[in-house]
Homo-oligomer: A and B are copies of this chain.
Amino acid sequence: MFVVVSYDIPDDRRRLKIAQTLLDYGGERVQYSVFEMHITARHLERLQRELSAIIDPGEDSVRFYRLCGACQGTILYLGVARPTDGPGLLII
């Protein structure tokens, strides 16, 4: 499945660890605190457990947005934003 992960992590060390973990799971960094990834349901659950163990639940925020094939086809980009892959719509 296709998942967008966005986060707000004030602490540098934790933010670095979150970003590295997302990279380890095959995530592609599309913006400073936004990753896109293709991931199985099983790996997504494991990823969420790992991120839960890293974050400070009282300070940090992580959001996971799953996009079905139809929703993926409607992703729009402005500026230097580029699709990671798949059929998004590009606005020059």
Contact = CB atoms under 8 A, between A and B. Distances in A.
Interface string A53-86: 0011111111111111011001111111100000
A65 B70 CA distance: 11
Given A48-B78, A70-B68, A76-B48, A61 B31 contact: yes
A36 to B, nearest CB: 9
Contact of A7 (B31, B48, B60, B67): B31
18 contacts: A4-B4, A4-B65, A30-B61, A30-B63, A31-B33, A31-B61, A56-B79, A57-B78, A57-B79, A60-B78, A61-B80, A61-B81, A62-B79, A63-B76, A63-B77, A64-B78, A66-B75, A68-B70
Interface of A: 4, 6-8, 30-34, 48, 51-52, 55-68, 70-71, 74-81, 91-92
